[in-house]
Structure 1
Amino acid sequence: MKADPQYLAPVMGAVDALTQLSQAMLDDLDEDHHGFTWWRGYVDDKRLALIAEYLMASVDGIKMSLGDAAFLVDECSQFSFADTKWTRDRVEAVQRMGGGMDTILRALRRSGVDEKRERRIRLAREHVFYHLAQVLDRLAAIIVGVGALNTPILKADWKIIGNEETWKKSQGREKSHWTQPAIGRDRQNWLRTSILKAVDAAGPADWLAWIDGTRNTNAHRAPKIQMHAVTKQTRTEPERLVYLFDRQPKWSMTEAIVGSQSLRLDAVWLLEDPLGLMRGALGATASVAEAVGNLLASLWADRRSDPQLLVQPAGQWPTVLEEPELSFAGFGHPVQITTKGGAFRVSPEQARRLRASGVFSPELWK
């Protein structure tokens, strides 16, 4: 058996838990009638097929995102090590010649491979949080699916779990036309409480909100001051230049400075080793993913034993095949492929999923 890369070690507990959940789902697939065997009778077959496949794809997506985040932390570590040596060599060369700060800054100007290395470090530093936030959004999707919450699974995000009012709305209302049975709502509440306990245990206060804010700011907002600082020399490590992450990622640069009511560096930026912070964020997210995987595997088994415990709501997939079709056909650089007749190969597991999703049953979609 091929060994997993060493950089995946921090996320393997979560990957194993999610793999067990995925296998339980795969074992319950109904290739003839679509969806899962014990989901029959909840909603129409189209929605069962769509929700079931999206649920399994989301589990796969969580494992992929965890692996991508772990890879980026490792990449950032390797490139940062090389960049620290490059920086020290140039600073020491200038100091030996008696040069001052202006000379050092000129020596640190980059081009070629050195500029690319700095860019790779910055991209890894940013993208690791994109993938960690992906984990959280995809976890929300499988929580919605397995937890039978009445909210669109395609739009699931962590706010569904974090906001109590949103959670309650997704359970249905006593006086509405649709609601989960009382024992089912109790189990849903147990699920949410257990997940939030896992979040609290995984890291320091507000760690999850900090990751989400960092991702959103990097993806959607104007860039801020990229702050670097020189560390103090110790007995075991000489001085080095480190990047500082924002203390309040959701605030604009001006708000961060004004809102801190201080011009102190540590009031605006986190005085923490960037790789240590990234590893901590990866570990905390993986811990929650592992806990959620185990909790949902338990709930899945209970629902299989008692299909009336929770009802899979149609509201998880409000419309079927109603999104407008795009006319985009590429930018005019077609490729010639060797496959004949539109045939393609997939793994046996994927073939089962395709059959259960109804893609080979045109009568389902009429």
Structure 2
Amino acid sequence: MGYDQPVLKALRATEELASLLEADFDTDRGGFTWWHDYGLDRVAITGIMDYLYGLVSAVDENLRSAAVHLADLRENRYGEDHAVIKCLKETGHLPNYLQRTDLEARREARIHAHEAGVLRATGSILDTLAGVVIGIGGLDKSIVMADMACLEPLDEGAGYPGLKTRKKLNLTEKALAPDDPQGNLLRATRSSLLQAGPDGWLDWTRYSRNDRVHRASRIKMSIFGSNGKVARPLPRQPDHAATLGFHLANDIDTMLLTEDSQSTLTGVVESVNYAVIGTFLACSELWRARRDQPDLITQPSGQWTSAKPPRVATFNGYNPDTIAPQGDLAALVSPSTGRRLQAAKVVNRQHPPTP
């Protein structure tokens, strides 16, 4: 079984959507073949096209990253847990972490890196997924700035998208109609996300991702269970600072999840797999409908505008000018990437500015 087995169905849904987009690349005029009556200038039509395709590719990349982090986490936990249990049985205490070999120390570091890697990758999947929905649905929101917050709050029932969400996406109450294509895509996305896992999985995953990226490191805890196995539970409230969790908790069960981190992260990856499948099936269906009836939704130019210009970096690298192409040798790219570059009009110095 390959490392990507937990996300294989989501990868197939991603590949199908990417193939639909690629089939509509306009390598002559730029953008997508059926977008040229929307009044978009070349900068917008090529920019939105390329960024939308890139978002789908980002979902693919992060699915693979989440899967490989999960697989490597299992391998390293197996070795570490075996060593800890062996030490406990032989000496009655935990290993001396100050006297570990480099191999043992790296194994522990990999465990923490792979736990964080799963959460970072799944958080990125959710944000880029929202960007794909905004692009496919022709929603009037900057596609570059799109993230999961744009779709919130994910209210239950027929009242979604609610007033707050409609305001973010510049939608009217028309989106609540059962035959509205934009509203239906949003409702399909909402259902795919909420039904992909147990109650609260989505918020917990996003809070945990933010915790690993932006917050202070937490106290690590290992529990030697009655089943003779080592467990490393994750925080129940990842949006709370660690000390707040201690102060608010009546017991360890209210501070930590009552399962090993491997169980939690395996579930998160499984939930993301289901969320991508449902959302991208809805996206593929709407894309086909729009291609057959281009006036169903007008792609807004506002998707390629920004309130402020992008920041400019002055960094030149640590060893600049150390790559020297051999003569007129061109960069090697796949046929798919070649078509993408042609449709984006970036070959022969035709690259339009980004927002």
Same topology, TM > 0.5:
yes
What is the CA–CA distance in structure 2 between the aligned matches of 1:358 and 1:320, rounded to whole Å? 24
1:12 aligns with 2:1: no
Structure 1 position 283 matched with structure 2 position 275: no
- Maintained 8 Å contact 1:184/1:309: no
1:51 maps to 48
> Is residue 118 from structure 1 mapped to residue 112 from structure 2 by the alignment?
no
Please report how far the alpha carbon of residue 108 of structure 1 lies from its aligned counterpart in structure 2 after TM superposition: 8.2
Name which of 236, 243, 250 aligns with 2:239: 250
Give the superposition deviation at 1:157. 0.7
From the superposition, tell whether residues 107 and 146 of structure 1 become closer, same or farther in structure 2 (CA, over 3 Å). Answer: closer
Q: Distance in 1 between matches of 2:286 and 2:11?
A: 18
Displacement of 1:183: 7.6
Q: Is the 8 A contact 2:175 2:183 kept in 1?
A: no
Aligned equivalent of 2:248, options 259, 280, 289: 259
Residues of 2 paired with 1:336 and 1:299: CA distance? 44
Larger Rg: 1
Matches within 5 A, 1:1-366: 6-42=2-38, 43-95=40-92, 101=93, 104=94, 106=96, 109-163=99-153, 164-172=162-170, 186-233=180-227, 239-260=228-249, 262=250, 264-319=251-306, 322-332=309-319, 334-341=321-328, 343-360=330-347, 362=349, 365=352
The alignment partner of 2:4 has SS state of helix
TM-score after normalising by structure 1: 0.87
Greater Cα offset, 319-328 or 158-167? 319-328
Relative to structure 1, the CA distance from residue 182 to residue 276 in structure 2 (aligned partners, 3 Å threshold; closer, same or farther) is: closer
Report if the CA contact (8 A) 1:203-1:284 is conserved: yes
Structure 1 residue 335: Cα displacement? 2.2
CA deviation string 1:9-56 (max 9, x = no partner)? 111111111111111111111111111011112221211100101111
**Corresponding residue number in structure 1 for 2:157:** none
How far does residue 217 in structure 1 lie from its aligned partner after superposition? 0.8
Q: 1:40 to 1:364 in 2, by over 3 A?
A: farther
Q: Alpha carbons of 1:333 and 1:232: their partners in 2 closer, same or farther (altered >3 Å)? A: farther
Conserved 8 A contact 1:184-1:310: no
Match of 2:180, SS state, is: helix
- What's the CA shift for 1:83? 0.9
Deviation per CA, 1:140-191: give whole Å up to 9, x if none: 11101001111111111111122244531244356xxxx9999899211111
Q: Please report the TM-score for the alignment, with normalisation by the length of structure 2.
A: 0.90
Structure 1 letter corresponding to 2:215: R
Change (3 A) 1:270 1:131: same
Identity %: 26
Residue identity in the other structure for 1:196: R
Letter in 2 for 1:246: P
CA distance in 2, matches of 1:130, 1:172: 29
Distance 2:297 2:169 in 1: 10
Q: Which residue pairs with 1:236 in the alignment?
A: none
Matched position secondary structure for 1:142: helix
AA of the residue aligned to 2:264: L
Distance between the aligned counterparts of 1:337 and 1:240, measured in 2? Answer: 54
Is 2:69–2:117's contact at 8 Å kept on the other side of the alignment?
yes
Whether contact under 8 Å (1:183, 1:309) holds in the other structure is no
Amino acid at match of 1:61: A
Give the Cα separation in 2 of the matches to 1:307 and 1:328.
43
Distance 1:181 1:88, change over 3 A: closer
Query: What is the rounded CA distance, in whole Å, between the counterparts of 2:341 and 2:281 in structure 1?
Result: 26
Q: Distance in 2 between the 1:70 and 1:227 partners?
A: 24
Single out whichever of 153-162 and 278-287 deviates more from structure 2. 153-162
Deviates further, 212-221 or 353-362: 353-362
Q: Any gaps of 5 or more consecutive residues in structure 2?
A: 154-161
Secondary structure of residue in 1 paired with 2:294: coil
Matched residue of 2:231: which SS?
Answer: strand
